[in-house]
Amino acid sequence: MKDLLKQNILSNVNFSENEIEQFCNLFKAKKIKKKKFLLQKGEICKFEGFVNKGLFHIYHINKKGGKQVLYFAIENWWVTDIDSFTNQSPSNLFIEALEDSEILLIAKKDKEFAYENLPQVEKLFRIMTQKTHVALQRRMIDNLSKTADQRYLDFITKYPDLQLRLSNLQIAAYLGISHEFLSKIRRKITNSK
């Protein structure tokens, strides 16, 4: 069950066989049913997770009661509320399974143990943090500078398989638009072909 995790780790940093086994053994497998929560607002995030199978969305509820999706997490992606996890403060986010899913979780204390005892782990998470910052920066720039049409086209180009697993409502919540507006965008694209 940890083969995909090992591949993900080794795609970022070289570990000895012993180190990677030691690190991967700190993760605990958990199955999450569709529509169940891994984390809810107000809870303290005590894990970082690696999606082995399935799909999650990470979102918050705005003042008007609407979902705003920060990101989706599919197989071979990581998921957490980094603010709550790092600061051990109540979360403002929800992490919900959109499909029956399997996730590998590492507890904060186990991650700290890995930092102390496996030097490559710090390098791994530094690289992953840098990649996350780049992705967030690009997303912020896109949200500020691109039209909804452009953001939708970018989304389906960048994540062709993911878009097939999501509803219009879920994609619209990620793009920050109404599902009605997304339907108009899709019709416009279809009619222009």
Q: For 39-58, b where at least 16 C-beta lie within 10 A, e where not — what string?
A: beeebebebbbbbbbbbbbb
pLDDT at 189: 84
Distance CA 152, CA 182 (A): 8
What backbone torsions phi and psi does residue 174 show, to the nearest 5 degrees? -70, -40
Over 80: is that where the pLDDT of 193 sits? no
Q: Residue 107 domain-assigned?
A: yes
Over residues 123-143, the mean pLDDT reads 93
What backbone torsions phi and psi does residue 66 show, to the nearest 5 degrees? -90, 150
Q: Residue 154 domain-assigned?
A: no
Query: What residues make up the domain containing 7?
Result: 3-118
Q: Residue 44 domain-assigned?
A: yes
Domain containing 42 — which CATH number?
2.60.120.10
pLDDT at 190: 82
DSSP 8-state assignment for residue 16:
-
Distance CA 177, CA 148 (A): 7
Q: Residue 155 domain-assigned?
A: no
Count of structural domains, the chain: 1
- What are 146-188's pLDDT values in tens digits? 999 999 999 999 999 998 999 999 999 999 999 999 999 988 8
What's the residue count for the chain?
193
Q: In what order do the strands lie in the sheet with 28-32?
A: 28-32, 101-107, 47-53, 78-79
Q: Residue 93 domain-assigned?
A: yes
pLDDT at 94: 98
One-letter amino acid for residue 137 of the chain: Q
Over 90: is that where the pLDDT of 1 sits? no
pLDDT at 163: 87
Q: Residue 69 domain-assigned?
A: yes
- What are 74-128's pLDDT values in tens digits? 999 999 999 999 999 999 999 999 999 999 999 999 999 999 999 999 999 999 9
Radius of gyration of the chain (CA): 18
Over residues 5-16, the mean pLDDT reads 95
H or E segment at 72?
Answer: strand 67-74
Q: Residue 192 domain-assigned?
A: no
Q: Residue 149 domain-assigned?
A: no
Given the structure tokens 């992490």, which residue do they identify? 95
Over residues 15-22, the mean pLDDT reads 94
Over residues 50-76, the mean pLDDT reads 95
